[in-house]
Amino acid sequence: MTPLAIGFWGLGGLIVLIAMRVPVGVALGSVALLGIAAIRGPYAAISAVGNLPYEFVAHWSLSAVPMFLLMGSIAYHTGLTGSLYDAARVWLSRLPGGLAVATNFASAAFACVSGSSMATAAAMGRLAIPEMLKSRYDPGLATAVVAVSGTLGSLIPPSILMVIYGIFTEQPINRLLIAGILPGVLTAVVYAAVIIGRCIHNPSLAPAIDEKVDWRLRLAALKSVWPTPVLVIFIVGSLYSGLATATEAAAIGAFAACVIAFAQGRLTWTNFKDSIKETATSTGTIFFVAIGAILLTRFLALSGVPKYLADAIVAWGLNETTVLIGASLLYLFLGMFLDPLGLMLVTLPVLLPLFKSLNMDLIWIGVLVIKYLEIGLLTPPVGLNAYVVSGVVGDKVPLMTIFRGLLWFIAAEVFIVVILIKYPQISLFLPDLMVP
């Protein structure tokens, strides 16, 4: 059997293993090792296990992952972000669907210190859903808003998925993180427009709140949210100005979160220990899957599958638009069954050579890939954010009600993706202005 045939058989076997619900990291690693052994022999597979995982884990840029995770854990466990929803509610509650709009923008702010979609959905779900249900909001709207706005954690910096993408594609991580800002803002604004539009068309979804809020109360609410802007300024400012790399900015953010929590008297040994434990667990999970993807990349390179596909693209005369449509459909389909990290690391070894063969801007492609992963967090049967929200509300709202509420927002996501494909400068404008 030729190496190329082994490569395609390996991809087929990977799909079968994933369909059997084998953990993604195990599926990636086992297929890769068996494939390398079949092409180069067992000693080559043993050598790959001995060298590649260390080379990957020792990558300096990867240090940003645990640092960003630690910052988010500290901010969550010490309650630095707890006042975000209250401030947004005070300012936005008079709008149609005001509590839902407030949840949307509070989630965007929480994403700036979380870097995780599921963490954002879980935290905001505990704060916002009981408040909306108490105000007689439609359960499908209340839960769907939390699930969908949680996906902003994948796009707005600091995004863990952006860091992993940057390492795999060898793109500047600081430019990738900054590239997510305008698409993230666009996404939050479109979500808000969907909420307001639906509530104007059907006021019963979100009954008006009879609450008198004066300017004194609004200004007082802003005083309690200062830790989040400070952390954002530390991270985005250091990245944008070129004063710090992504790894250094992550360390600055984690340190600043600890200092702010300590200064406010919120940093106790218990929540610090919980934050460290949560960070270590999440980091280990991410690294395990990523190591499997690194091994798969080596296997595919040895088999010649990426080169074969790239040559086929050129021979068939496919253009950028055709490849993007194909990639979009692939991500939308696989996103229904795979978690975001696994989906990205399964597809990048195959799709990256295709993008490179057409000289596509990999910063722009990175934003699109993250958007595809966001949609995967919402689509059944494995829409993880929907399950996170379901876990928060328990039996109060059926899972199918949450998924039905998400349909409007999935349609909005498709609209946003079309806009980002048609106008790449939305993603590239800020990175192009950065200090070299």
263-296 confidence digits (pLDDT tens)? 888 888 998 999 899 888 888 887 888 888 788 8
Residue 257 has pLDDT above 90, yes or no: no
The reported pLDDT for the residue numbered 435 is 62
Residue 85 has pLDDT above 80, yes or no: no
The reported pLDDT for the residue numbered 314 is 63
Q: Which tokens belong to 288?
A: 């395990």
Return the percentage of the chain with pLDDT > 70, whole number: 95
- How far apart CA 331 and CA 361 sit, in angstroms, is 18
Residue 14 has pLDDT above 80, yes or no: yes
* Helix (H/G/I), strand (E/B), else coil: 398: coil
Torsion over CA: 72, 74, 76, 81 (sign): negative
* Helix (H/G/I), strand (E/B), else coil: 335: coil
How many CA atoms lie within 13 Å of 233's alpha carbon, on the beta-carbon side?
5
Residue 369 has pLDDT above 90, yes or no: yes
Residue 138 has pLDDT above 90, yes or no: yes
Residue 186 has pLDDT above 90, yes or no: yes
The reported pLDDT for the residue numbered 61 is 72
Q: Which residue has the higher pLDDT, 163 or 118?
A: 163
Mean pLDDT of 406-432: 93
The reported pLDDT for the residue numbered 317 is 62
The reported pLDDT for the residue numbered 140 is 92
The answer to whether residues 328 and 376 touch, using CB atoms and an 8 Å cutoff, is: no
The reported pLDDT for the residue numbered 361 is 93
Mean pLDDT of 342-364: 86
The reported pLDDT for the residue numbered 82 is 65
Instruction: Give long-range contacts, CB 8 A cutoff, 24+ apart: 316-321.
Output: 319/358, 320/358, 320/360
Residue 196 has pLDDT above 90, yes or no: yes
Residue 182 has pLDDT above 90, yes or no: yes
Angle subtended by helix axes 42-57 and 269-303, to nearest 10: 140
- How far apart CA 430 and CA 179 sit, in angstroms, is 6
Q: What is the pLDDT of residues 197-242, one digit of tens each?
A: 999 999 999 887 766 666 677 777 777 777 778 887 878 888 877 7
Confidence tier at 382 by pLDDT (50, 70, 90): low
Compute the residue count for the chain: 436
The reported pLDDT for the residue numbered 111 is 78
Q: How far is CA 48 from CA 20, 26, 95, 212, 311, in A?
A: 26, 15, 58, 65, 27
The reported pLDDT for the residue numbered 213 is 66
Concatenated DSSP letters of 236-276: HHHHHHTSS-HHHHHHHHHHHHHHHHHHTT---HHHHHHHH
- How far apart CA 221 and CA 228 sit, in angstroms, is 13
The reported pLDDT for the residue numbered 35 is 93
The reported pLDDT for the residue numbered 28 is 85
The answer to whether residues 332 and 372 touch, using CB atoms and an 8 Å cutoff, is: yes
The reported pLDDT for the residue numbered 108 is 84
Mean pLDDT of 139-160: 87
Angle subtended by helix axes 425-433 and 181-201, to nearest 10: 140
The reported pLDDT for the residue numbered 363 is 95
- How far apart CA 145 and CA 147 sit, in angstroms, is 6
Torsion of CA 330, 165, 174, 122, to 10 degrees: 80
Confidence tier at 426 by pLDDT (50, 70, 90): very high
The reported pLDDT for the residue numbered 60 is 75
DSSP 8-state symbol, 207: P
Residue 385 has pLDDT above 80, yes or no: yes
Residue 89 has pLDDT above 80, yes or no: no
Residue 191 has pLDDT above 80, yes or no: yes
Radius of gyration of the chain (CA): 22
Q: What is the pLDDT of residues 288-324, one digit of tens each?
A: 888 887 888 888 888 888 777 767 766 676 778 888 8
Q: How far is CA 364 from the centre of its chain?
A: 15
Q: What is the pLDDT of residues 41-53, one digit of tens each?
A: 988 888 888 888 8
Confidence tier at 418 by pLDDT (50, 70, 90): very high
Confidence tier at 334 by pLDDT (50, 70, 90): confident
